[in-house]
Amino acid sequence: MGQITVEKNVGGIEGLCVITPAVHGDSRGYFMETYNQKDMEEAGLHMDFVQDNQSSSTKGVLRGLHFQKQFPQGKLVRAIRGSVFDVAVDLRKDSETYGKWYGIELTEENKKQFYIPEGFAHGYLVLSDHAEFCYKCTDFYHPGDDGGLAWNDPEIGIEWPQLTGTYLGNGACAGYTLTDGTPLNLNERDQNWPVLKDAFQF
């Protein structure tokens, strides 16, 4: 193994991994391997990816917290442009860290990747003017199998960076802004997910 460094069980949550690729750069630019099955397996990570996704978002957009119920997906995520704060919440009912969260800033500069296994809710907040985000999945997307968790549930207590506002008892984004005044932007569905005590458990 020489192309990746893996930090396992980040935040004390079993299964979450931060992966840092080796970047080979010079005056012309850089090269890196973004995924190498052999290196991953040597690091103790065994996952079979079947689908790649990419999204584009503007500053203040929050996507999540999402999961699939009957067909859960492990995800290897990274930002290829801009900066996002990426979060995973443990929803495994038998886990010692059920309901705990971990977040990391993923940027085009640090090139870090975040591996989130099955059994977690996942979401991210865009901190830069624009961000492009991509991720590999261990299962296909199944329409109608969507689940979600309130992004601002006080029981979980995610500390979203640069975000200010007052919790009013639901997932509405009204009144929330980034520190520069950019309004928080969630779609209607993401403002109506349940809190942890009412959420799906794996």
User: Active-site residues: which are they?
Assistant: 66, 135
Q: How far is CA 46 from CA 15, 40, 69, 128, 173, in A?
A: 11, 7, 21, 32, 38
Place of tokens 């006080």: 154
Q: Which of 115, 165, 138 is nearest to 13 (CA)?
A: 115
Instruction: Give exposure, 154-175, as e/b (b: 16+ Cβ within 10 Å).
Output: eebebebeebebeeeeebbbee
